[in-house]
Chains A and B, each alone.
Chain A
Amino acid sequence: GAGVSQSPSNKVTEKGKDVELRCDPISGHTALYWYRQSLGQGLEFLIYFQGNSAPDKSGLPSDRFSAERTGGSVSTLTIQRTQQEDSAVYLCASSAQGTALYEQYFGPGTRLTVT
């Protein structure tokens, strides 16, 4: 079946511009996670959605970052007034339910470059 998809695969933007990154989770998965992968920094947790519960935003690095999940499915990560340090690969993952007992399935990521 279809896995987690993300778009765009690559995004180059100028410093100060806003960007939107999209994640389509596996159908039926109730949990959705966003991570940021920077060279040498591993995966940094950003935000987590589980069903209709309030999202866990504790990993968002600044108020320039926000995310929403519409209809319990597609999610959009928005970065406002991008900075060069925002350059990274942004990964989305989904799992069948919202506990860590369920395997996370990762998408291919969006490589963001801020010039």
Chain B
Amino acid sequence: AQSVSQHNHHVILSEAASLELGCNYSYGGTVNLFWYVQYPGQHLQLLLKYFSGDPLVKGIKGFEAEFIKSKFSFNLRKPSVQWSDTAEYFCAVNAPERDDKIIFGKGTRLHILP
């Protein structure tokens, strides 16, 4: 079965710092990849997704992620974070050849210092 690993459980950065959150998945076949975000007191919402094509995908609020198939990775990046990016970030994977389930990682709590 597919699984997702997020290596950083808690990240603290200052405003304007660059961000990279790691995500690795374990599945050798075709995958759809997602990053979801949960801002304090809000619902989970989709940040960006990769299905096919350009492995560098851009999402809302200046976030981007790069799918590197050889590394089974889908790291999330942002060149300059803002205090409002404080949230919990979840990487997720779907294996469409198997089923429609989306498997989530354990999440990374990001805290941006003003």
Contacts and interface: CB of A to CB of B under 8 A. Distances in A.
Interface of A: 3-4, 31, 33, 35, 40-45, 48, 50, 56, 58-59, 91, 93, 98-101, 103-109
Given A42-B106, A91-B44, A108-B43, A56 B90 contact: no
Interface string B66-110: 000000000000000000000000101010100111111111000
Interface residues of B, number: 22
Interface of B: 6, 9, 32, 43-46, 49, 51, 90, 92, 94, 96, 99-107
Contact of A100 (B43, B44, B94, B104): B94
B32 A40 contact: no
Contacts of A108: 43
Pairs of residues from A and B, 5 with the lowest C-beta to C-beta distance, nearest first? A42-B106, A100-B94, A43-B104, A106-B44, A106-B43
A71 B29 CA distance: 35
A48 B100 contact: yes
A45 B102 contact: yes
Contacts of A41: 106
A25 to B, nearest CB: 13
A99 B9 CA distance: 29
A101 B32 contact: yes
A85 B6 CA distance: 23
